Structure 1
Amino acid sequence: MTALGFLYPGHSAEDDYPRIEQLLGSDIRLDLVHTDIGEDAHRVDALLEMGSAPRLAAGVEELRMSGAESVVWACTSGSFVHGWEGAHEQVRTLARAAGLPASSTSFAFVYAARELGVSRVAVGATYPDDVADLFADFLRAAGIEVTGVRGSGIITAAEVGTWGEAEVIALAQAADTPDAEALLLPDTALHTAAHIPTLEKDLGKPVLTANQVTVWEALRLADRRVNAPALGALFTREPLVQA
Structure 2
Amino acid sequence: MMNTTPATIGFLYPGHAAEDDYPRMGALVNPPAQVHLIHTHFQKDAHTVEALSEMGSVARLEEGAHALAGAPIESVLWTSTSASFVLGLDGIRQQIDTLEKLLCVPASTTAMAFARAVTAIDARRVAIAATYPEDVARLFRDFLGHFDIEVVHLASRGIVTAAEVGRLDKTAVIELAVANNHAHADTLLIPDTALHSAAWLPELEQAIGKPVLTANQVSVWEALRLCGKLRKQTGLGTLFETQP
Q: Which category describes the TM-score, using the shorter chain as reference length? A: over 0.9
Q: Which runs of 5+ in 2 are unaligned?
A: 1-5
Q: Which residue of 2 aligns with 1:92?
A: 97
In the alignment, structure 1 residue 41 sits paired with structure 2 residue 46: yes
What residue is the counterpart of 1:67 in the other structure? Answer: 72
Contact 2:26-2:32 within 8 A present in 1 as well: no
1:229 lines up with 2:237 in the alignment: no
The aligned amino acid for 1:188 is T
Q: For the aligned residues, what is the CA RMSD? A: 1.1
In the alignment of these two chains, the number of paired residues is 239
Partner of 1:193: 198
5+ long unaligned stretches in structure 1: none
Inter-partner Cα distance in structure 1 for 2:171 and 2:177: 10
Preserved CA contact (<8 Å) 1:41 1:155: yes
Runs of 4+ aligned structure 1 residues displaced above 3 Å come to none
* 1:52 maps to 2:57: yes
Structure 2 partner of 1:160: 165
Post-superposition CA distance 1:209-240 (Å, at most 9, x none): 0000000000111011223311101111113x
Match of 1:81 in 2: 86
Q: Who is 2:149 aligned against? A: 144
Q: In structure 2, how many angstroms separate the alpha carbons of the residues matched to 1:202 and 1:233?
A: 13
Structure 2 CA distance, aligned partners of 1:205 and 1:95? 35
Contact kept? 1:23, 1:228, Cα under 8 Å: no
Instruction: Give 3-state SS (helix, strand or coil) of 2:198's partner.
Output: coil
User: Displacement, 1:27?
Assistant: 4.1
Question: For residues 60 and 132 of structure 2, what CA distance do their matches in structure 1 show?
Answer: 22
2:131–2:157 CA contact under 8 A, matched in 1 = yes
**1:183 Cα deviation from its structure 2 partner:** 0.3
TM-score by length of 2: 0.95
Counterpart contact for 1:24–1:227, Cα < 8 Å: no
